[in-house]
Structure 1
Amino acid sequence: MSEGVKTAEEKAAEARRGPGSRATNRHGPMAIGIPAEKPASFRPSAKRLLGLLRPERTSLYAVLAFAVSSVALNAVGPKILGRATDLIFAGVVGRQLPAGVSRDQAVADLRLNGNGTFADLVEGMPFLVPGAGIDFGAVGRVLLVVLAIYVVASLLQWAMSWILTGAVNRTIFELRSSVEDKLNRLPLPYFDNQPRGELLSRVTNDIDNVAQSLQQTLSQLLTSLLTVVAMVAMMLYISPLLAVIALVTIPVSMLVTAAIGKRSQKHFVQQWKSTGELNGIVEETFTGHQLVKVFGRQEEAREAFRAKNDDLFDAGFGAQFISGIIMPTMMFIGNLNYVVIAVVGGLRVASGSMTLGDVQAFIQYSRQFTQPLTQVASMANLLQSGVASAERVFDVLDAPEQQAESASPTVLDDPHGRVEFEDVSFAYAPETPLIEHLDLTVEPGQMVAIVGPTGAGKTTLVNLIMRFYELDSGRITLDGVDITDLSRRGLRREIGMVLQDTWLFGGTIRDNIAYGRPDASEEEVLAAARATYVDRFVHSLPDGYDTVLDAEAGNISAGEKQLITIARAFLSDPALLILDEATSSVDTRTELLVQHAMSALRQDRTSFVIAHRLSTIRDADLILVMEDGRIVEQGSHADLLARGGAFADLYAAQFRSAVAEPAG
């Protein structure tokens, strides 16, 4: 049985060998999930996330330039618009004064008549002409200027968003590519210790969330911060007193945001962690839904789902509720600030210290000043969610990689398949040795069968040949060359492997066979199919070799799936074959045919056959009997039976009645 699909006994056996084995952390359909990790701090992760944008510096500089220009235009707009208000108000007040006098004379007359407050108001209105009405021409010109300013500012904002969208999407494209490259460099033990659904959640959901967070927060954060600076500058220019009142909002807002954000960050981290765990349970339960139903474990599966769903609900509710408090709190602070500014500004207009247009502009600035602060506060939950997802992606990127390959790997021009184990030792965990000081030589063309009880190390032995794991000591050579001197790609190109667990991708039968050698000709693909008896059942399908297999290849039988995988190995024309109980899914008659085909394939090739059915290895040149990682017996089928040792015991356990029958 393959390393990826084990019986419960095999999993238990590997669990006894230590935490490095696959079974120790692999979750089955009833798995609850992995324990929560301590979340990384916010600041380093956010800094690293922003560092991903470094290659987009030119685009970001352009974004900054457009943002500054847009904010500057939006900042001067209210001040100019205030002039239109002053013109209208001056026209309304000017009608109440006698025509033909200057403004100074009108003010002096008002003071003589005891109208000091009204005189102060008129004195503070530079556009007032006594006796004149509203100058609609001047008002119209001001409004056209403001309109032009806002149109240009909007175009600059659009350009900024367009450039930033491209920069963020290119960054996420590179991040996805980095994660994909990283997954290809990670050793097999990493995947053994990661629930599949959890890993999928990190490389799909979490990256998508990072993209959404960057896209929505960067532009708003930049615009909001620049807007705050511009609004503060304009408020100080119009009225330092009112500006001081408005600026009190900043420290109060920062304290509120920091206090609430600190409480919500841990909930966001747990929310995405619970999402990954829940995905793991869903994926594994659906993958093994037949076993769940066969053993009547639906209720347990539902309970496991409910438990993780409850955890996700609690984390999500806590994160969203706590961070959601920020915005209404900020709005309350902003409204209080607005009331104070309106009252003080009205008093200053009445005293002639400010014009009505300046108060109107200042109120607009104060609203535009508090609005970006509110936006930043409302984005806090999105930003924290994105950083929490980034932490999970960085965990993948920071995982230890497989051992580096040789800078100048050896290339086997004409491999023959001679394999030699020289004093090989290996353990999944240092405290529980598995294979110790193993010596073995397999000559080209030999068929080596590996048998033994569950957990003996049979599949581990061939995984070491494939260099899925690195040796603790000793070395393995292929045609006299240490496999560590070969590139992994070069080594595995010389090895064909057929597992008990069939793997086919969505595509035609022809494409699945050609996966073993993409440059194979049509005739070579058909020859491999005929040699492995795929051709016998393909013609019964509606579209023959063009029949499209779905994701689960549910439109063909299990035995037919196995034949296609064997044909794929045939086509790859390897120097070394590894067959991990490869005929277990075919019927008895087809098995005989496949055995004949394999005999032809094994000519001049070394083959390792992991077998549980001992009847399939009678013609093996060498049989290795393994127990606890050691080769306890080796020899031919007849010799091992004659010895009456471990192999004879295994054989008797399977064929007790046949052994009891007298010969002849």
Structure 2
Amino acid sequence: MKNNKNTLKRILNLLSPYKFRMAVSLILAVVIVLTTLYLPILTGRAVDTIVGKGNVDFERLIKIIFIMIIMMCVTAVAQWCMTAINNGVAYHMVRDIRNQAFNKIMRLPISYVDSTSHGEIINRIINDVDQFSEGLLMGFAQFFTGILTIVLTIIILFTINVYVTLVVLLVTPLAMLVAGFIAKNTYKHFKSQSEKRARMTGIVDEMIAGLSTVKNFTMENQIENEFKESDEELRVASQNAIFISAIAFPATRFVNSLVYAGVAISGALLVITGNMSVGQLTSVLSYATQYTKPFNEISGVVTELQNSFACAARVFSLIDEEEILPDKDVNNVIKDVEGNVEVSHVYFSYDKSKKLIEDLNLDVKAGQRIAIVGPTGSGKSTIINLLMRFYDIDSGSIKIEGKDIGDITRKSIRENFGMVLQETWLKNASIRDNIAFGKPDATFEEIEAAAKEAYADSFIKRLPDGYDTIVTEGGENLSAGQRQLLCIARIMLVLPPMLILDEATSSIDTMTEARISKAFDKMMMGRTSFVVAHRLSTIKNADMILVLKDGHIIEQGNHNELMDMKGFYYELNNAV
């Protein structure tokens, strides 16, 4: 319940910009309830105009019917306006919370994205927010009107007949107990359902991304079984949630029947004794139905709100994730970078219980080409993550032009690095926009020149729409080599003073690689370059080669020096 209160408080905070609309909606809700509750009174009066056969007050009856029609029209218009306003508020709030969640991702540390299923994150922003909005819409439309209907019905019943009202009130605690029981038991089941749905989304997202790998290893059956297990877990969770929520209908119908029977019997006795007219009995029977109807709706609303709260809580938990530590001084930027980098006594590990980088020292002069080699897990990519401040070091210092990167803004650091990674990333946009990703204001001539430098221009012009060809999600309409060429062209366009190439030519054929190497040589000329490579043939011309093993630089020097040492690098080279 405490979590629900916190979630409700945050939802109300999200609603604060729409206070005026909500006030109008509440006024319309009052109008709807008043006009709806006035109709049974008019119905009773209409019945009382029919005293007996041939004794009907038609003049009065016609007036009452005319007023009833007006009340119905007012109710319909007010209902339409309230629904339109509530829908608008709900969808605006969903937009706000979804923007908050997406903006939060931009401020989350890379460690969170690395350690959390992408499907889980997507599910929270898309599915959970949708579920949240659906419950909210029902809550807006029915919760307030339900409570108001119950209160006003009791007041009106008191004005008609006290004894009938007491009969209704005696059954009310039972209706409240039923609603309370349903509300208490639905939250945990809907929360479990949401979590299971997120897991399934994660499985689907991962399998679509790696479908070719799954097929290559003929793991279709195993993946299908994994999906079936997840689907079964979701089925059980959903069944439990639906079962609990489904109790609402028969339980509230039972209470309805008790109320209606009590009112009908007591009212009939009062009519026989002359303490109530037939018209009044008609009215109180209508009110008995209207009185119990809000309990039905509120039970349904509570069920939906519990589901909504469970989904909202998951979205809020994403929004509440710990962000990247803010820059110490937003004005502390680095300018006129030549490419001097100094790494001094750096210690770092992803899991603090497992050591990785220990006492790393490195002195790189401007324009040097530094190659980093070593077995998988030795810390090659970790060094890149630390240079770019994707992760902050545990101790020691990394300096660029004598400035500690811990004191420099992350934006300033990353503007001075260009990265071409083994894993390509292209957005769902035109090829022109993808190349200009780091320089959106680039002219077409600049984009085309960068593509030519990266040897991408020829294949681009062979595409149906040339530079305006739309790259599908993940670049699936391009080959792996073509995607890599576009990523290289993207860096060719901005040409920062320092470069990071993480096995940047891994997806390119040998002939193209030879041509790209010339482009790289031109691009790296006069620029500090860090080249992470698995193929030693790509780094023989490096000014310095760092040989890593278990997070330590165990050897360093140029190719010839390392070969003369006949150490670990020598063994790696001969093993190729």
Structure 2 length as normaliser, TM-score? 0.97
Per the alignment, residue 110 of structure 1 pairs with none
1:293 alignment partner, SS class: helix
Per the alignment, residue 57 of structure 1 pairs with 19
Per the alignment, residue 275 of structure 2 pairs with 353
Aligned residue among 45, 48, 57 for 1:86: 48
Hey, what's the Cα distance between the residues in 2 that align with 1:542 and 1:399? 44
Aligned residue among 289, 294, 305 for 1:372: 294
**Superposed counterparts of 1:190-209, under 5 Å:** 190-209=112-131
Hey, what's the Cα distance between the residues in 1 that align with 2:327 and 2:79? 49
Write out per-residue CA displacement over residues 421-462 of structure 1, whole angstroms, 9 at most, x where no aligned residue.
122211112222211222212111111000011100000001
**Superposed counterparts of 1:598-609, under 5 Å:** 598-609=520-531
Letter in 2 for 1:449: A
8 A Cα contact 2:186 2:307, kept in partner: no
Per the alignment, residue 564 of structure 1 pairs with 486
1:280 to 2:280 alignment:
no
Write out per-residue CA displacement over residues 61-115 of structure 1, whole angstroms, 9 at most, x where no aligned residue.
2211221222122222221331111111x254xx6xxxxxxxxxxxxxxxxxxxx
Letter in 2 for 1:340: G
Hey, what's the Cα distance between the residues in 2 that align with 1:55 and 1:470? 38
Hey, what's the Cα distance between the residues in 1 that align with 2:490 and 2:194? 40
Per the alignment, residue 297 of structure 1 pairs with 219
Aligned residue among 522, 546, 565 for 1:643: 565
Q: CA deviation at 1:522?
A: 1.3
Q: CA deviation at 1:43?
A: 3.9
Per the alignment, residue 493 of structure 1 pairs with 415
**Superposed counterparts of 1:445-484, under 5 Å:** 445-484=367-406
Q: Which 10-residue stretch deviates more, 41-50 or 416-425?
A: 41-50
1:71 to 2:30 alignment:
no
Q: CA deviation at 1:213?
A: 0.8
Q: CA deviation at 1:397?
A: 1.1
Could you say if the C-alpha distance between residues 369 and 407 of structure 1 is closer, same or farther in structure 2, counting changes exceeding 3 Å? farther
8 A Cα contact 1:249 1:334, kept in partner: no
Q: Which 10-residue stretch deviates more, 297-306 or 146-155?
A: 146-155
Letter in 2 for 1:423: H
Hey, what's the Cα distance between the residues in 1 that align with 2:460 and 2:39? 74
Q: CA deviation at 1:40?
A: 7.9
Q: CA deviation at 1:319?
A: 0.7
**Superposed counterparts of 1:511-530, under 5 Å:** 511-530=433-452
Q: CA deviation at 1:321?
A: 1.3
Could you say if the C-alpha distance between residues 265 and 357 of structure 1 is closer, same or farther in structure 2, counting changes exceeding 3 Å? same
How many residue pairs are counted as aligned between the two chains?
A: 576
Per the alignment, residue 224 of structure 1 pairs with 146
Aligned residue among 353, 356, 378 for 1:434: 356
Per the alignment, residue 614 of structure 1 pairs with 536
Structure 1 length as normaliser, TM-score? 0.84
Per the alignment, residue 21 of structure 1 pairs with none
Aligned residue among 612, 632, 637 for 2:554: 632
8 A Cα contact 1:409 1:485, kept in partner: no
Letter in 1 for 2:291: F
Hey, what's the Cα distance between the residues in 2 that align with 1:352 and 1:188? 79
Hey, what's the Cα distance between the residues in 1 that align with 2:474 and 2:353? 40
8 A Cα contact 1:424 1:435, kept in partner: yes
Letter in 2 for 1:62: V
Q: CA deviation at 1:55?
A: 2.4
Hey, what's the Cα distance between the residues in 2 that align with 1:442 and 1:204? 45
Hey, what's the Cα distance between the residues in 1 that align with 2:86 and 2:322? 33
Hey, what's the Cα distance between the residues in 2 that align with 1:643 and 1:382? 71
Q: What is the RMSD of the two structures over their aligned residues, measured on CA atoms?
A: 1.7
8 A Cα contact 2:345 2:397, kept in partner: yes
8 A Cα contact 1:49 1:387, kept in partner: no
Letter in 1 for 2:44: G
Hey, what's the Cα distance between the residues in 1 that align with 2:331 and 2:359? 26
1:332 to 2:254 alignment:
yes
Hey, what's the Cα distance between the residues in 1 that align with 2:437 and 2:416? 15
Per the alignment, residue 394 of structure 1 pairs with 316
8 A Cα contact 2:341 2:365, kept in partner: yes
2:556 alignment partner, SS class: strand
1:343 to 2:265 alignment:
yes
Letter in 2 for 1:48: R
Per the alignment, residue 508 of structure 1 pairs with 430
Hey, what's the Cα distance between the residues in 2 that align with 1:501 and 1:543? 25
Per the alignment, residue 327 of structure 2 pairs with 405
Write out per-residue CA displacement over residues 394-430 of structure 1, whole angstroms, 9 at most, x where no aligned residue.
1101111111113433223322121111222111122
8 A Cα contact 1:580 1:611, kept in partner: yes
Letter in 2 for 1:627: K
Could you say if the C-alpha distance between residues 394 and 555 of structure 1 is closer, same or farther in structure 2, counting changes exceeding 3 Å? closer
Unmatched segments (≥5 aa) in structure 1: 1-38, 96-132, 655-664
Write out per-residue CA displacement over residues 619-664 of structure 1, whole angstroms, 9 at most, x where no aligned residue.
101111111111111111111111112211211211xxxxxxxxxx
1:147 alignment partner, SS class: helix
1:549 alignment partner, SS class: coil
Could you say if the C-alpha distance between residues 189 and 312 of structure 1 is closer, same or farther in structure 2, counting changes exceeding 3 Å? same
Q: CA deviation at 1:378?
A: 2.2
8 A Cα contact 1:197 1:280, kept in partner: yes
1:417 alignment partner, SS class: coil
8 A Cα contact 1:533 1:563, kept in partner: yes
Letter in 1 for 2:19: R
1:169 to 2:119 alignment:
no
Letter in 2 for 1:220: Q
Hey, what's the Cα distance between the residues in 2 that align with 1:537 and 1:494? 29
With a CA cutoff of 8 Å and minimum separation of 6, indicate the structure with the bigger relative contact order: 1
Could you say if the C-alpha distance between residues 70 and 291 of structure 1 is closer, same or farther in structure 2, counting changes exceeding 3 Å? same
Write out per-residue CA displacement over residues 145-180 of structure 1, whole angstroms, 9 at most, x where no aligned residue.
122122223222222222222211111111011101
Per the alignment, residue 653 of structure 1 pairs with 575
Q: CA deviation at 1:611?
A: 0.6
Per the alignment, residue 188 of structure 1 pairs with 110
Per the alignment, residue 236 of structure 2 pairs with 314
Unmatched segments (≥5 aa) in structure 2: none
Q: CA deviation at 1:602?
A: 1.0
Letter in 1 for 2:572: L
Hey, what's the Cα distance between the residues in 1 that align with 2:429 and 2:31? 53
Write out per-residue CA displacement over residues 520-578 of structure 1, whole angstroms, 9 at most, x where no aligned residue.
11111111111111123223333322333222433332212211110101112211110
Hey, what's the Cα distance between the residues in 2 that align with 1:261 and 1:72? 27
1:507 alignment partner, SS class: coil
Per the alignment, residue 133 of structure 2 pairs with 211
Letter in 1 for 2:169: L
Hey, what's the Cα distance between the residues in 1 that align with 2:428 and 2:182? 48
Letter in 2 for 1:274: K
1:515 alignment partner, SS class: helix
Per the alignment, residue 114 of structure 1 pairs with none
Write out per-residue CA displacement over residues 309-330 of structure 1, whole angstroms, 9 at most, x where no aligned residue.
1101111111101210111110
8 A Cα contact 1:91 1:135, kept in partner: no
2:545 alignment partner, SS class: strand
8 A Cα contact 2:171 2:258, kept in partner: no
